[in-house]
Amino acid sequence: MRVNMNNPVLIKEVKLRFRSLKSFTGILFYLIAMSIFVFGFIFLTTQFTGKGFFRPDQSFFLFGLLTFIQLGLILFITPGLTAGTISSEREKQTLNMLLTTSQSSLQIIIGKLSSSIAFLLLMLLAGLPIYSLVFLFGGISPGQLGVIFLFFILTMIAVGSIGVMFSTLTRKTIVSMIATYGTMIFLSGVTLFFFLISIQVNQMSGPNPGLTQSPAPFAYFWASINPGILMYTLLNPVTENFVNMQTKIDFPVWASYIIFYVLLSFGAITISIKKLRVNMKKLK
């Protein structure tokens, strides 16, 4: 069977998004805010030291702050870009026309998802020159920055896939957004709480309270799917040693994170493809 690599849905979505003045205005204000934060941090740090020096450890701290700000933006912006991809078409009553075209469900879902991911990638790449300022003061390696960006891309795809899935399953965009943001709160906040609770329960259940006596697979699972904990392990490898020591499971946290979110993305995309035309089948 011949596979058509051309995706008109992706081309249309990219043109509409990148021709919009709002998109580039948003990127402009994002870069202005990032620049004010970086230069303000450098200025205040050099003023407080009294010597006008910006040390490598301070550069690394700035890099960590920028990384967590980027992660927060990804978790906050991605649901807003993807949670209305299909439900908005349904609300505008244009979904039926889109489904009657020659485009397959896979092309429609991938096109909608890819256009949103492309805009987020543009935002990350636009902020790369600001990131590069930390290299002037040392403390950061290009390889570390590359690993962080790969982590961002995987997280964007996973969050975007969840948003598209809820947008396909629900009829209202507001419901889809609430479900997607709720999932992000669970993955980034509730899992951290469950990790701490699981560690405490495991320590209290042992013969020596306060010490982890047996493996804690549930605690390891909650830690491995939390984006914030993984970010800490990438910035500071000691954090990964702490997780392995507390859970008694000697397996890289980043590997578990990749496996979980790749499977989650694949499952969410598969559900979106299966459920996109379910209403048309019922009508038949």
Concatenate the DSSP letters of all residues of 104-168 into one string: -HHHHHHHHHHHHHHHHHHHHHHTHHHHGGGGGGSS--HHHHHHHHHHHHHHHHHHHHHHHHHHH
* Predicted pLDDT of residue 4: 46
* Predicted pLDDT of residue 128: 82
Predicted structure pTM score: 0.84
Domain membership of residue 103 (yes or no) is yes
Q: Residue 48: which pLDDT band, with cuts at 50, 70 and 90?
A: low
Pick from 44-48, 102-106, 230-234, 240-244 the range whose average pLDDT is largest.
Answer: 230-234
What residues have CB less than 8 Å from 148, skipping those under 6 apart?
67, 231, 234
pLDDT of residue 124 exceeding 60, the answer is: yes
Domain membership of residue 2 (yes or no) is no
Q: Residue 282: which pLDDT band, with cuts at 50, 70 and 90?
A: very low
Domain membership of residue 195 (yes or no) is yes
Domain membership of residue 183 (yes or no) is yes
- Domain range holding 111? 8-283
Domain membership of residue 1 (yes or no) is no
Domain membership of residue 107 (yes or no) is yes
pLDDT of residue 129 exceeding 90, the answer is: no
pLDDT in tens, 4-38: 457 777 777 777 777 777 777 888 888 888 888 88
User: Would you tell me how many other CB atoms lie within 10 Å of the CB of residue 90?
Assistant: 19
What residues have CB less than 8 Å from 146, skipping those under 6 apart?
none
Domain membership of residue 122 (yes or no) is yes
DSSP assignment, residue 85?
T
Total domains in the fold of the chain: 1
Domain membership of residue 140 (yes or no) is yes
pLDDT of residue 284 exceeding 60, the answer is: no
pLDDT in tens, 204-238: 765 555 555 577 888 889 989 999 888 888 888 78
